[in-house]
Amino acid sequence: MNDPSRSLRIELRQWRQFVALAEELHFGRAAVRLHMTQPPLTQAIAGLEAALGVRLFERTQRSVRITPAGAALLPEVRELLARAQALPELARAAAAGELGRLRLAFVSTVGFELLPRWVRAFREQWPQVALELIEATGDVQLELLARGEVDAGFVLHSPGFAAPGLVQSLIATEPLVVALPEAHALAAEERPALKSLLAEPLVIFPRRILPSLFDAIFVLYNAAGCVPRVAQEAIQMQTIVNLVSAGLGVAWVPQSVRQFQRPGVVYRAVAWPRGRAVPACETSLVWRADAVSPALAHFIQFAQDQDASPATSARNKPRAQ
């Protein structure tokens, strides 16, 4: 028997010869099937057995029988040959972006409705592309992209924001609405006045995770001649809404957050002073220009072809920053 620790060098050709003989159980017929003569086939099978250190076939002058070891090996070898035969097509599919893995980061607001709908549609179109979804705030997404740990990300920001060093494509624009405790006096109004809201304690996300939107909200207060009275900070939109339901204050949130129905919270559009534009926020898909795989290229095109929501504005072309 050979030393089992010795590295085996068995070619696919030898495994094909093994399968042919196992199925024919006759060296002559197997040789014809393999387009070779019988003596080289006999030598090849003997060499395979020597390399493995086991008998695969029992031979007599009149018959060939497969051994229990050979029979146990046969289905595994068939699977190996099938997978080897499929490799060229898999390589072509991967190069065309029809096969592979795509790592997408997203902020919580995208997860309410847009992302589940898009994931279903993209999987129907590209079923062999595995999607790995990672929920992360905007600041964390930029770090993950810089390290190459995600392929693209959905980020929330104020209009006009440009992600440094990234290409971005505008997905949706939506107005900000206010989340109020259900028991609050202003919750009874269909469109509470801005002036009344500015005096209320504010629940907001830390500036580091959404600096452009954080600053836009503070500008809203400063333009009215006041400073926000921050009662509590929280990272996730769901947590912010939960804190509002506890009566800690009011919160400015994207309109899509209305889909997060939390007992004790109501959402209201705001009555803005005449001439004041309704503040908005944007969602963009961002990625590194130097790291676009074929699968990511398909997703970018897919995203640009979608209708994000009724609040979607005209999309921008991708732009590098």
Residue written as token pair 């905007």 = 138
> Per-residue confidence at 315, pLDDT binned at 50, 70, 90?
very low
What pLDDT, in 10s, does the model give residues 21-44?
999 999 999 999 999 999 999 999
Distance CA 216, CA 235 (A): 17
Please give the mean pLDDT across all residues of the chain.
Answer: 87
Distance CA 64, CA 71 (A): 13
DSSP 63: -
> Which pLDDT belongs to residue 272?
84
pLDDT at residue 319 above 70?
no
What pLDDT, in 10s, does the model give residues 137-162?
999 999 999 999 999 999 999 998 88
Helix axes 114-125, 294-305, angle to 10 degrees: 120
- CATH C-level class of 100-171+289-320: alpha beta
- CATH C-level class of 12-94: mainly alpha
What pLDDT, in 10s, does the model give residues 103-139?
999 998 888 888 889 999 999 988 888 899 999 999 9
Residue written as token pair 């992360």 = 136
Lowest mean pLDDT among 61-70, 88-97, 207-216: 88-97
DSSP 186: G
Q: Assign residue 305 a region (left: φ > 0; alpha: ψ between -120 and 50; beta: otherwise).
A: alpha
Q: Please state, as a whole number, how many other Cβ atoms lie within 10 Å of the Cβ of residue 134.
A: 14
- The CB-side HSE value for 78 (13 A sphere, CA atoms) comes to 11
> Which pLDDT belongs to residue 312?
41
The more confidently predicted of residues 319 and 192 is: 192
DSSP 188: G
200-231 in b/e burial notation, b at 16+ Cβ within 10 A?
Answer: bebbbbeeebbbbbbebbbebbeeeeeebeeb
Burial class (CB in 10 A: 0-12, 13-18, 19+), 308: buried
Please tell me the pTM assigned to this model: 0.67
Distance CA 120, CA 252 (A): 30
Q: Are strands 319-320 and 202-204 parallel, antiparallel or unpaired?
A: unpaired
What residue ranges do the domains of the chain occupy? 12-94, 100-171+289-320, 173-280
Q: Are 244 and 203 in contact (CB under 8 A)?
A: yes
The more confidently predicted of residues 126 and 285 is: 285
Average pLDDT over residues 42-51: 91
> Which pLDDT belongs to residue 267?
95
Q: Residue 104: enclosing H or E segment and its boundaries?
A: strand 100-106
Q: How far apart are the first and last CA of the chain?
A: 65
> Per-residue confidence at 311, pLDDT binned at 50, 70, 90?
very low
3-state secondary structure of 154: strand
Q: Please, which residues have CB within 8 angstroms of residue 47's CB and are 6 or more apart in sequence?
A: 14
Q: Please tell me if the domain spanning 100-171+289-320 has the same topology as the one spanning 173-280.
A: yes
> Which pLDDT belongs to residue 90?
63
Distance CA 119, CA 98 (A): 15
- Which two tokens mark 214? 């954080």
> Per-residue confidence at 92, pLDDT binned at 50, 70, 90?
confident
Q: Are 256 and 154 in contact (CB under 8 A)?
A: no
Distance CA 247, CA 98 (A): 50
> Candidates 3.40.640.10, 3.90.1150.10, 3.20.20.80, 3.40.190.10; correct CATH number of 173-280?
3.40.190.10
